[in-house]
Amino acid sequence: MTQTSDATAASDVTAASGAGVASDAAVGGDATAAGDPVTAGPARVDLFFEPNGTRVRVPPGVTLFDAASWNGIAIDSTCGGHGTCKKCKVRIVDGVVPVSPLDSRAFSPGELRDGWRLACRVVTATDVRVHVPPLVTRPKAATVGVGRQVILRPAAQKRYLELDEPSLADQATDLERVLAAVDDLELRADLHALRVIGRVLRAADYKVTAVIVDDVLIDVQQGDTTGRVYGIAFDLGTTTVVATLLDLSTGTPMAVASMLSKQQPFGADVITRISAVMMDPETLGRLTGLAHESLNELAGEVCQQAGVDPADVLEVAMAGNATMTHLALGIDPEPLGVAPFIMSTRLWPEVLAADIGVSVHPRARAVVFPSFGAYVGGDITAGLLAAGMDRDARTRLFVDVGTNCEIVLGNRDWLLGTAAPAGPAFEGAAIRCGMRAADGAIEVVTMTPDRLELKVIGDAPPAGLCGSGLVDAVAELVRLGLLDRSGRLIPEEDALGVAPGLAPRLTQLGKERVFVLHWLGEPGDVAQSIYLSQRDVRELQFAKAAIATGWDILLEEAGLQPRDIQQVLLAGSFGSYLSPANAIRLGLVPRLPVLRVVSAGNVAGEGAKMALLSMRERAGALALLEEVRYVELSDRADFNDRFVEQLQFPA
């Protein structure tokens, strides 16, 4: 096998992503098609993945990353295997794999000799044994957020009934007997209830519990089970999925769990996942299945934590952006990714929990939050509901900071919303030493002219830089004057007069200026250390400029000035750990007194909880669709000029 260039590898990936290859992978890779033509190389290549011991067979020319993804083996990646994030690091244990040009830039000479390669650059030609580092599946995430007290009135309920037995004088049907006993509700029966009602009534001597969701009788159970009524609220994030189990009879949270989305190998953002479906339509089924696995695994985990039978979960609620919701429901997301960015629908029909892969009560309902637009989705609807944006007299700015940043401005009289393409910098992607918010990630950076201090998640040795650490590091460098307003790292000789204790950390890596946050390896070995590069600063500038342009345009639309904003809500997992002072210093949010900027936490999850606990709040979520006016940024002629103006850091 000869060394493969980046361009050749990319074409091989495309050529190998057809239906025939996917079919081979789907059957476990061991079935060799009869009558394969004779070729100069092997008809199939055996790949052995450690430490899970999985063996797969694929045609030559398939990348190692694709072969792993097709067979459910998760390899870390934020770009979906396109060779831009350089995070799909694996070690070749046995077999010959040439070094690609991108490998040379991602690894040291010693690491290359030890067999380290980027999985997306390894184009299979011969049998290979490969070790896949364990994936961080539990990143640090906000599981609670700002919410409101609600009047407890869930759609799911149970009624204990003691019924008269039928006789020749009373020949009412089984269903009529149950419905007559629940005379304060006008119910209709689900087919499942009709299938079990006769057997259950007679086995229980007509002492039964009617299981009701909304206006539907979904089940009839023996005896009194009224103490077992549960629901699960899901925040279906692009990166992280959070589940909360609720006791719907009391409103009490019983358990909470979070995990990295199993869709992660297909890219860190919704655009790369949409692109994956556009390139290979069969990917839609795989992404839908992975979304279902994520939701179902978390549902099982929270039920196990609380000692609850999943069959007693009668309703679930799911808040996710438009793309994640489309994928979870098995709907082609391609129209969301190309102009004019059209959703299949804003409001979803009746959906069962089983339709989104969650194994709870077989007829449990799923509440799927509606979306305002292709890039202001159901997670924002849920967040606005929790924050009470439509009920507060104050003018507030709601900012959900992430790969796609959603922004809403307004009060109880009016609401304006938009979306800004911030990019993946806040997730640690596209950052040279970036990583997700997991153990080993630098999450807080503080500096004085003579000293630098780091706070690391899990109190582990520093392994990389997550989004909040990136914001802190840049903000501190700006504050000390080591970064000028344009985002340029100042020369080393100038740094001696500004921050003498930090000046040795300003250095070069090749032709690029970097600032070393934590030295690793040999003294002075910058390449093996954790550093902030000039390009990293630019990535953050692009993200903050997109967000600032978004809220600036909304202020203009409303005829307001930044000083008119009475509160800023930083929403989402990233917003929970973002320093309000540093967000102001960099211009991510308007320059306001720091006490006006509040970390709102996982408001999408809080909104999902509220929808399970209160029918009134659920109706409020639907009403929000009519109250928010969406402002599209992509068709504004002045967007680019305003974006460029926002690139500089505030004076």
| Residue 148 maps to a domain | no
Long-range contacts, stretch 273-278, CB < 8 angstroms, 24+ apart = 273/80, 273/323, 273/327, 273/333, 274/323, 274/333, 274/334, 274/336, 274/337, 275/80, 275/337, 276/80, 277/332, 277/333, 277/334, 278/334, 278/337
Q: Are strands 451-456 and 54-58 parallel, antiparallel or unpaired?
A: unpaired
| Distance, C-alpha 224 to centroid of its chain | 40
Residue 650 lies in a domain: no
DSSP secondary structure letter of residue 164? P
CATH of the domain at 601: 3.30.420
For residue 39, give both structure tokens: 């070729």
Q: Domain of 332: which CATH number? A: 3.30.420.480
| Residues 430 and 488 both lie in one domain | yes
Let me know if residue 136 belongs to a domain.
Answer: no
Distance CA 463, CA 648 (A): 29
First to last CA, the chain: 56
Residues 533 and 546 in one domain: no
Q: Chain-wide mean pLDDT for the chain?
A: 86
Angle, in degrees to the nearest 10, between helices 174-181 and 191-203:
90
Average pLDDT over residues 36-51: 68
Q: For residues 604 and 486, state if they share a domain.
A: no
395 in the same domain as 347: no
Q: Are both 466 and 570 inside the same structural domain?
A: no
Instruction: Give the integer Cα–Cα distance in Å for 456 and 393.
Output: 40
Q: Which of 256, 354, 357 is nearest to 306 (CA)?
A: 256
Are 212 and 267 in the same domain? Answer: no
pLDDT bin (cut points 50, 70, 90) of residue 521 is confident
Q: Which residues of 11-29 are buried (b: 16+ CB within 10 A; e: fewer)?
A: ebbeebbeeebbebbeeeb
Name the pLDDT band for 8 (thresholds 50, 70, 90): very low
627 in the same domain as 486: no
Domain-ending residue, one of 164, 199, 222: 222
The answer on pLDDT for 549 being more than 80 is yes
Single-letter code of the amino acid located at 421: P
Phi-psi domain of 28 (left: phi exceeds 0; alpha: psi -120 through 50; beta: other): left
Instruction: Tell whether 614 is covered by a domain.
Output: yes
Strongest mean pLDDT among 59-68, 118-127, 157-166: 157-166
| Contact partners, residue 482, CB within 8 Å, separation at least 6 | 489, 490, 495, 498, 499, 502, 506, 515
* Tally: H helices and E strands in the chain: 20, 27
Tokens representing 182 are: 């629940």
Structure confidence at residue 25 as a pLDDT band (50, 70, 90): very low
pLDDT tier, 147 (very low <50, low <70, confident <90, very high otherwise): low
pLDDT for 37 beyond 50? no
- pLDDT for 553-594, tens place per residue? 999 999 999 999 999 999 876 777 788 999 999 999 999 999
**Residue 32 pLDDT greater than 60, yes or no:** no
Residue 21 lies in a domain: yes
Closest among 400, 429, 404 to 539, alpha carbons compared: 429
In a domain, 146, yes or no: no
Q: Residue 338 corresponds to which tokens in the numbers above?
A: 């190309």
pLDDT in tens, 263-293: 988 877 888 899 989 989 999 999 999 999 9
Our CA dihedral for 108, 110, 113, 118, rounded to 10 degrees, sits at -30
Cα-Cα-Cα-Cα torsion 315, 319, 320, 324, nearest 10 degrees, comes to 10
For residue 126, is pLDDT > 70? yes
**Domain closes at, from 539, 571, 587:** 539
Residue 309 sits in the same domain as residue 289: yes
Task: Give yes or no: residues 10 and 113 share one domain.
Answer: yes
pTM value > 0.85: no
Give the dihedral of Cα atoms 239, 255, 144, 259; nearest 10 deg: -10
Q: Does 306 lie in the same domain as 160?
A: no
**CATH code, 39:** 3.10.20.30
| Co-location of 549 and 400 in the same domain | yes
Contact 283, 265 (CB under 8 A): no
User: What is the residue range of 52's domain?
Assistant: 6-131
pLDDT the model gives residue 148? 67
Last residue of a domain, one of 378, 407, 437: 378
353 and 470 part of one domain: no
With bands split at pLDDT 50, 70 and 90, how would you rate the model's confidence at 434? confident
The token duo for 550 is 């978004």
Q: What is the dihedral of CA 145, 148, 150, 155, to 10 degrees?
A: -40
Q: Answer whether residue 565 is part of any domain.
A: yes
Closest CA to 586 of 500, 508, 487, 507: 487
Q: Is the model's pLDDT at 202 over the cut of 90?
A: yes
Asked whether the beta carbons of 554 and 586 are under 8 A apart, the reply is no
Average pLDDT of span 609-638: 91
* Domain count for the chain: 5
